[in-house]
Amino acid sequence: MKKGFCAVVLSAALSACQSTDLSTSNKSERAVTPIDLTQADEYDAFTPYWTLVKRYDPRYPTRAALKGHSGCATLRYTIGSDGKAHSIKAIKSYPRNVFDSRAIKAMRKWRWEPTDSNLEKAPVLAEVQLDFSLEKTKNRNEAVANCGESLFHRME
């Protein structure tokens, strides 16, 4: 009897555990397909739709700094109708997985406001590369090869 009762309780508990999409809490926003700007040549292709009003720079990972590593993380994200980044994913990074989590954590704090031409607050899908560079880096050539020349321009 006890085994049967435990099995029923366990079965009920497990059936109550369902996965939920927490990427956005607004059900109507999920139905709206964002404008895909990921193929645009311009760095700021979202500017006709959204203006970046708060940007937070990511913290440099301690381990990467101690090793003297510079690099980058390219993030794909959706600017939702609430002006926040949603569905943030690292799609490319160098060195792999070193800067991703810090870049994503910083982007979660970014905020946008709709432009006058985007009164409907249309969501957009965009990409951005966040650079992490040290003056005395040990992997300069590899970092430039993987992240581009702009990685060290602000230091020179």
Alpha helices (H) along 21-129: 27-31, 62-67, 100-107
Q: Which residues contact 137 (CB under 8 A, 6 or more apart)?
A: 68, 69, 70, 143
Average pLDDT over residues 126-143: 94
According to the model, what pLDDT value does residue 46 have?
66
Residue 142 has pLDDT above 50, yes or no: yes
Nearest residue to 49 via CA among 143, 145, 116, 147: 116
According to the model, what pLDDT value does residue 153 have?
67
Convert the pLDDT of each residue in 80-111 to its tens digit.
999 999 999 999 999 999 999 999 999 999 99
Beta strands in 43-123 (DSSP E): 50-54, 71-79, 85-94, 111-114
Residue 9 has pLDDT above 70, yes or no: no
Convert the pLDDT of each residue in 17-70 to its tens digit.
333 344 444 444 455 788 787 776 655 666 788 999 999 999 999 999 999 999
Ordered domains of the chain (ranges, CATH): 33-155 (3.30.2420.10)
According to the model, what pLDDT value does residue 100 have?
97
